[in-house]
Amino acid sequence: MSIVVNDNPRIVDVKVTDESIIAYLTDGRTISVPLAWSWRLSEATPEQRNHFEIIGTGQGVHWPDIDEDISANGMLCGIPARPRKLAMATT
């Protein structure tokens, strides 16, 4: 009998291309989601996209320059970032 200590997906590295957000997991899987899932990353410069921190022992990724967070679970479950709030027009 084996006991699973922690079966939550953990990110060890991330790559952001012009089309995708790619996460490399500790168990060897690679997952990707469309870049359009994150409007902040979509609008970020390549330098901002490459400046990230793995957070929560691999539970997610934080991009400090653009204040964006993406979790491994969110990527696996198909949960895109919240859309940008549009400014209300005043008349």
Rounded average pLDDT over 68-84: 91
Tens digit of each residue's pLDDT (9 = 90 or more) over 39-64: 999 999 999 999 999 999 999 999 99
pLDDT-based confidence at 5, cuts 50/70/90?
Answer: low
Helices (H), the chain: 39-43, 46-50, 72-77
Q: Which CATH architecture fits 11-77?
A: 2-Layer Sandwich (3.30)
Q: pTM of this prediction?
A: 0.83
Residue 72 CB-density burial (10 A; 0-12 exposed, 13-18 middle, 19+ buried): buried
Q: Would you kindly state where each structural domain of the chain is located, as residue ranges?
A: 11-77
